[in-house]
């Protein structure tokens, strides 16, 4: 039963107006609605997103009692950089973490994931944490799976390690995770728009300088164009390039060389050199190159984000097929009184009622009634399958017949559909050898790139007689042109897109090495008891009567069926369209 105890029993005035419910600091004049957390049935305002994230984590982990038992306000969590001591409360208390006597595992959602470089950084950081056995971040679903030894590490240590490099983590919640994804997509869209606008406006000012003949632009006009370009580049530097600044800073704080480090160095060097040249009134400026570089990098990240969202959508569709609630008959067979409960709360031997059109909440056996099941989502069977008393029902199947009563044989988390979702999820987070190789060489590649850029600068500086006139732009070009993002972006994005494409064709990829070795396959063996089809009829052959040609017959049939939505009619119309090219 939910805890509805009043929150006003602890000494500090937690519910006092105008102060943060978590840390007690004064609330800002305009409280952001996103900084409000529901605790024990009441909405409470927080002073910053850090306190909101920490409070939400405490609630998600079922530790709301902390706010009743505490004797003082918590330290401010502004910026989500420090882990408050109160999160240690659930280190050994939450049974959801337990796998065996020593091993623990949990699923976290991590805020602030911008690209595959973030995935690499997080996995590398947690891999260095004592006691952590594995840390896998699914690039498509943005979920972090961590396994650790409880004797050497606690959940608080994992969260602290993530917070230390600028990422706020909390237990996975589908609704909250979806909102966080939509928010990230909107932010990236705004940054892309600002970068594109800055790029186009800067190009308007630099184009005359490129096109004009030598000596046709006076110094005052050239200075005006440079200063205008500088002002128009500032929004792209200060807002659109934020993902690169944050990524580079997080990498440096984690004592690693992430993919954003050379990108940030290239942007900073080009912009800094351009500012110096503008102030001094001599030298080359690169404002157009800077804005274009930021815009193109954001475009690539936008495309990568779309690919990851598309790949993760297949998994989300399967998860949505799992019902969130079930109709429980607590007193069966003495009474048929029913109550609606969460599917996750079902226990073995519970009796549930499954109505027509509802999904089976957990694996069970029919105890009363008969029906037909739609198993298309689970097995691809096109025709409903009849079920009677004593027959097993897989979780996730759709009741396409009449009302039945069934006894639960497995909890919802272990149902057939849940295991199918887990297989897909595991395929997304496990990495084939090529992806592991890319992760292993990424840090060394960045280091080699930085050393090569430095060597290039030194060489040209020496060649030009201690002059940086050419050395500086050439070194910047090395950093920009050799952008290592593709090394980390291409592999996981391609794997996610391929897995999604196969899943939409009905092929479930369950192992990380499958895609890597598929091109060497010479035979494909299907073990299928039912039909193996596309799930839609197609025209196979035309047999005409009389003297009419088959193409003419097809066009006539398609014209007659053009307004019909019947599957056979759609097959004829589609075949006619393909025949016409």
Q: What is the DSSP letter of 12?
A: S
Query: What contacts 18, CB < 8 A, 6 or more positions away?
Result: 26, 27
At 86 the pLDDT is 40
Q: Which of 361, 392, 414 is the last residue of a domain?
A: 414
Mean pLDDT check: name the lowest of 20-24, 64-68, 344-348, 397-401.
64-68
Query: Once rounded to an integer, what is the mean pLDDT over residues 547-571?
Result: 83
Distance from C-alpha of 550 to C-alpha of 571, rounded to nearest angstrom:
16
pLDDT of residue 486: 59
Q: Which residue has the tokens 């690539």?
A: 300
Q: Tens of pLDDT along 266-284?
A: 888 888 888 988 888 877 7
284 is a domain residue = no
β-strand pairing of 385-387 with 371-374: antiparallel
| Whole-number Cα distances in Å, 198 to 69, 177, 231, 236, 302 | 53, 32, 9, 6, 18
Q: What is the pLDDT of residue 424?
A: 66
Answer with the residue of higher pLDDT: 534 or 93.
534
- Has residue 85 been placed in a domain? yes
Cα–Cα dist 497/310, whole Å: 7
Residue count of the chain, please give it: 581
* Predicted local confidence at residue 237, as pLDDT: 93
Which of 381, 399, 414 lies at the terminal end of a domain, its last residue?
414
Strand partners, 37: 44
What is the reported pLDDT for 172?
66
Compute the distance between CA of residue 206 and CA of residue 77 in angstroms, rounded to an integer.
Answer: 45
Of residues 107 and 436, more confidently modeled: 107
Distance CA 195, CA 186 (A): 14
Q: Check residue 74 and give its pLDDT.
A: 52
Task: Let me know if residue 4 belongs to a domain.
Answer: yes
Percent of the chain with pLDDT over 70: 69
Domain at 338, CATH number: 2.70.150.10
pLDDT at residue 109 in the model: 76
Task: Give CA–CA dist 192/12, Å, rounded.
Answer: 45
Residue 107 lies in a domain: no
Instruction: Please state at what angle helix 433-463 crosses helix 471-481, rounded to 10 degrees.
Output: 170
Q: What's the pLDDT score for residue 196?
A: 92
Active site residues: 527
- Say whether pLDDT at 4 is over 80: no
* CB-based contact 61:37 (threshold 8 Å): no
Q: Which residue has the higher pLDDT, 141 or 370?
A: 370
Please, what sign has the CA dihedral across residues 289, 291, 292, 297?
positive
Among 139-148, 164-173, 408-417, 572-581, the range scoring the smallest mean pLDDT is: 164-173
> Is the pLDDT reported for residue 22 higher than 90?
no
Q: Is pLDDT at 393 greater than 50 in this prediction? A: yes
Decide if 115 is inside a domain. no
Q: Identify the weakest region by mean pLDDT among 47-51, 247-251, 406-410.
A: 47-51
Q: How far apart are CA 57 and CA 64, in angstroms?
A: 10
- pLDDT tier for residue 317 given thresholds of 50, 70 and 90: low
Range of the domain at 353: 325-414
pLDDT in the model for residue 375: 76
Domain boundary among 90, 125, 147: 90
What's the DSSP call for residue 18? T
Asked whether the predicted pLDDT for residue 558 surpasses 50, the reply is yes
Does 246 have pLDDT greater than 80?
Answer: yes
Element (H, E) at 169: strand 168-171
Peptide bond into 333 cis (omega under 30): yes
Distance between first and last Cα of the chain = 63
Q: At 339, is the secondary structure helix, strand, or coil?
A: strand
Gyration radius of the chain over CA positions: 30
pLDDT band at 193 (very low <50, low <70, confident <90, very high): very high
* Number of other CB atoms surrounding residue 354 within 10 Å: 27
Nearest to 499, CA basis, from 320, 301, 307 = 307
- The values of phi and psi at residue 336, to 5°, are -105, 20
Is residue 349 in some structural domain?
yes
The residue written with tokens 């019909």 in the block is 564
- Domains: count for the chain: 3
The pLDDT of residue 263 is above 90: no
What token pair was written down for 562? Answer: 């053009």
- φ/ψ (deg, to 5) at 387: -135, 140
Structural domain includes residue 215: no
Q: What is the pLDDT of residue 89?
A: 41
Residue 429 has pLDDT above 50, yes or no: yes
pLDDT of res. 81: 39
Residue 239 belongs to a domain: no
Task: Tell whether the model's pLDDT for residue 555 goes beyond 80.
Answer: yes
Q: Per-residue pLDDT for 553 more than 80?
A: yes
Structural contact between residues 516 and 432, judged by C-beta atoms closer than 8 angstroms: yes
Q: What is the pLDDT of residue 512?
A: 59
Mean pLDDT of the chain: 74
Q: Hey, is 386 helix, strand or coil? A: strand
Phi, psi for residue 45 in degrees, rounded to 5: -85, 145
CA distance 321 to 325: 12
Report the 3 state secondary structure along 257-305: CCCHHHHHHHHHHHHHHHHHHHHHCCCCCCHHHHHHHHHHHHHHHHHHH
Query: How far apart, in Å, are the Cα atoms of 433 and each of 33, 124, 127, 437?
Result: 45, 16, 18, 6
């Amino acid at each position: 039963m939910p805890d509805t105890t009043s929150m006003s029993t602890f000494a500090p005035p937690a519910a006092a107006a105008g102060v943060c419910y978590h840390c007690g600091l004064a609330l800002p004049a305009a409280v952001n609605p996103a900084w409000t957390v529901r605790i024990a049935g009441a909405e409470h305002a927080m002073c910053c997103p850090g306190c909101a994230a920490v409070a939400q984590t405490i609630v998600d982990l079922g530790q709301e009692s902390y706010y009743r038992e505490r004797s003082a306000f918590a330290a401010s969590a502004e910026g989500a950089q420090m882990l408050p001591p109160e999160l240690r409360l659930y280190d050994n208390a939450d049974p959801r973490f337990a796998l065996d006597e020593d091993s623990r595992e949990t699923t976290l959602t991590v805020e602030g994931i911008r690209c595959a470089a973030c995935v690499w950084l997080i996995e590398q950081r947690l891999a260095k944490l004592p006691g952590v056995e594995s840390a896998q971040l699914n690039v498509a679903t943005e979920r972090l799976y961590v396994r650790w030894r409880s004797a050497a590490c606690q959940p608080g240590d994992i969260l602290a390690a993530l917070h230390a490099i600028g990422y706020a983590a909390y237990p996975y919640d589908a609704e909250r995770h979806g909102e966080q994804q939509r928010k990230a997509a909107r932010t990236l869209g705004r940054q892309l728009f600002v970068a594109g606008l800055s790029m186009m406006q800067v190009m308007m000012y630099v184009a005359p300088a490129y096109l004009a003949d030598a000596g046709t632009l006076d110094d005052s006009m050239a200075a005006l164009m440079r200063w205008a370009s500088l002002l128009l580049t500032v929004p792209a530097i200060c807002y659109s390039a934020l993902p690169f600044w944050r990524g580079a800073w997080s990498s440096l704080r984690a004592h690693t060389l992430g993919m954003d480090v050379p990108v940030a160095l290239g942007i900073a060097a080009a912009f800094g050199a351009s500012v110096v040249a503008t102030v001094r009134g001599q030298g080359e400026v690169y404002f157009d190159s800077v804005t274009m570089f930021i815009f193109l990098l954001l475009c690539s990240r936008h495309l990568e984000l779309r690919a990851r969202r598309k790949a993760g959508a297949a998994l989300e569709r399967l998860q949505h097929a799992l019902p969130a609630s079930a109709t429980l008959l607590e007193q069966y067979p003495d009474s048929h009184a029913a109550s609606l409960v969460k599917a996750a709360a079902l226990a073995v031997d519970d009796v549930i009622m499954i109505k027509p059109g509802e999904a089976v909440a957990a694996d069970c056996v029919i105890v009363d009634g008969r029906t037909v099941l739609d198993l298309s989502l689970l097995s691809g069977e096109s025709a409903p399958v009849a079920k009677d008393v004593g027959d097993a029902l897989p979780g996730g199947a759709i009741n396409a017949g009449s009302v039945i009563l069934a006894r639960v044989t497995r909890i919802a988390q272990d149902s057939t559909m849940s295991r199918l979702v887990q297989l897909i999820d595991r395929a997304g987070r496990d990495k084939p050898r090529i992806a592991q190789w890319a992760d292993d060489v990424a840090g060394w590649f960045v280091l080699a790139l930085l050393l090569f850029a430095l060597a290039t600068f030194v060489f040209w500086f020496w060649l030009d007689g201690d002059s940086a006139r050419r050395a500086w732009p050439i070194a910047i070009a090395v950093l920009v042109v050799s952008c290592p993002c593709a090394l980390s972006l291409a592999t996981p994005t391609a794997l996610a897109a391929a897995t999604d494409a196969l899943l939409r064709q009905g092929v479930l990829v369950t192992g990380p090495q499958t895609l890597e070795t598929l091109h060497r396959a010479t035979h494909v063996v299907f073990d299928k008891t039912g039909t193996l089809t596309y799930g839609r009829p197609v025209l196979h052959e035309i047999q005409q009567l009389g003297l009419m040609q088959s193409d003419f017959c097809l066009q006539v049939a398609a014209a007659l069926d053009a307004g019909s939505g019947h599957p056979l009619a759609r097959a004829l119309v589609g075949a006619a369209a393909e025949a016409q090219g």
